[in-house]
Structure 1
Amino acid sequence: MEETEVCIPIPRDLVRRLGVEPHTSSKATKFTEAYLRNCIQQPTRLDVKSMVTHKAVILGYRRPKKDKTKKKSKKAKGLNARQKRMMKVFQIKPDHQRYELFLPLHELWRQYIIDLCGGLKPTSNPQFVQQKLLKADFHGAIITVVRSKCPSYVGTTGILIQEFKHVFKIITKEDNVKVIPKRYSVFGVEIDGFVSHIYGNKFELRASERSVRKFKVKGTMDL
């Protein structure tokens, strides 16, 4: 049996009794057509009825304008190792190679180590001090070559002015800059009566890398 839609108008007496009006779409259709005519700015070949039935019309749409004030921020790239060597970034000018110029740096380093170790006292735990020195920065420290595979380095003393991965660069009291290899060398450092030894083989790291490295604690310390 086929299904059919049955539409029966509401009786007029029932309309009066309920106070409702029968549904008519004529007013809504006329309003929609008039509104579309006012909104459409460009002339079109299609009439309003065909546009409503066959095509969706977006009313009041505007393409957002691009903000020209915003610019992509590029991160500044640093110089690589080759560029730094070509620009001689790490070279100290001969006029600045004087021992007395680096004495204030040594005093700053000395105070830095005292603060790092919580004050150096005769009752301080040597093992605790050594643990702190393992990750400390030694720029400004007065170091002495205690032992070395090359006998000519032994006894050399000066302020550490530059530390690289494989070498220490120090300046002596005679205003001479010496480059001492870390490998096969032992360096002595004295801070207010505390004497520590740096084994160069274990220190073949940059200062920034050593500060975050975890050292394994065995029977003896690296210092």
Structure 2
Amino acid sequence: MTEASVKIPCPPELGKILGIKTQTTMQAEAFTHAFIANSVPGKGKQCPVDKLAHKAVVLEYARSKKVKEKRKRKKSKGLNAKQKRELKVFQIKPEHQKYELFLPLHDLWKQYIIDLCNGLKPGSNPLSIQQKLLKADFHGAIITVVRSKCPSYVGTTGILVQEFKHVFKIITKEDRMKVIPKRNSVFAVEINGFVSHIFGSKFEHRASERAAKKFKVKGTIDL
């Protein structure tokens, strides 16, 4: 309280309803001094009221770092790979294994590849397109097995719905899910008349890992 403070007494009518009495100036100032002394950090130290004029006063102690660290630890972490397998997160339900359901995904993938390769023009640099396709996401692409160590896979065609490190999962036009190993297999991908070949043995990376991987141009190319 300061000398310039304005003291507004409680109206008598309101005082009767609430059952309170208006304090005298001395009582109000004594209460204010005691409240500030008990509320300001650093108990036991006298805090002059005049030094607090026109200043913000923190009446609550800051939380300790230990409390904040405990709260961070309590935050739930994502599922690990084993938990995802147990919960069958990556499995597509049989009723969803329909070729037609993934055709819109294929249309989006075609537009994505065209934008990635700047339109796939006839005069485009094949090496530049090859490097972009190496890091591209193939979910939604229609791929065909053209060569494989297992003859039964040759000729299999479908929309790629899941890509893992060692296998492709595709949905055929007959609404059948096929799991094709990458190793010892060669896949063909057609994009607006451009046909690219994926050598699965050199493509054994997860899609996220492949996007960040630096490929070296050698005599045997990946696409």
TM-score by length of 2: 0.69
User: Which residue in 1 is equivalent to 2:173?
Assistant: 173
User: Which residue in 2 is equivalent to 1:131?
Assistant: 131
- TM-superposition CA deviations, 1:76-120 (whole Å, max 9, x none): 411111111110101111111000000000000000000101111
Question: Matches of 1:209 and 1:156 in 2, distance apart?
Answer: 26
Question: Matches of 1:114 and 1:76 in 2, distance apart?
Answer: 40
Tell me the secondary structure at the aligned position of residue 187 of structure 2.
Answer: strand
Question: Matches of 1:171 and 1:196 in 2, distance apart?
Answer: 20
User: Which residue in 1 is equivalent to 2:16?
Assistant: none
Question: How far has the Cα of 1:213 moved from its partner?
Answer: 0.3
2:178 corresponds to which letter in structure 1? K
User: Which residue in 1 is equivalent to 2:72?
Assistant: 73
TM-score by length of 1: 0.69
Question: How far has the Cα of 1:158 moved from its partner?
Answer: 0.2
- Count matched residues: 166
Question: Matches of 1:206 and 1:61 in 2, distance apart?
Answer: 66
Alignment map for 1:132-211 (pairs within 5 Å): 132-211=132-211
Distance 1:150 1:65, change over 3 A: same
2:45 corresponds to which letter in structure 1? G
**For 1:60, which of 45, 50, 66 is the aligned residue?**
45
Tell me the secondary structure at the aligned position of residue 208 of structure 1.
Answer: helix
What CA RMSD, in Å, does the superposition of the two structures yield over aligned residues? 2.3
Tell me the secondary structure at the aligned position of residue 188 of structure 2.
Answer: strand
- TM-superposition CA deviations, 1:6-29 (whole Å, max 9, x none): xxxxxxxxxxxxxxxxxxxxxxxx
5+ residue gaps, structure 1:
1-57
5+ residue gaps, structure 2:
1-42, 48-59
User: Which residue in 2 is equivalent to 1:100?
Assistant: 100
User: Which residue in 1 is equivalent to 2:57?
Assistant: none
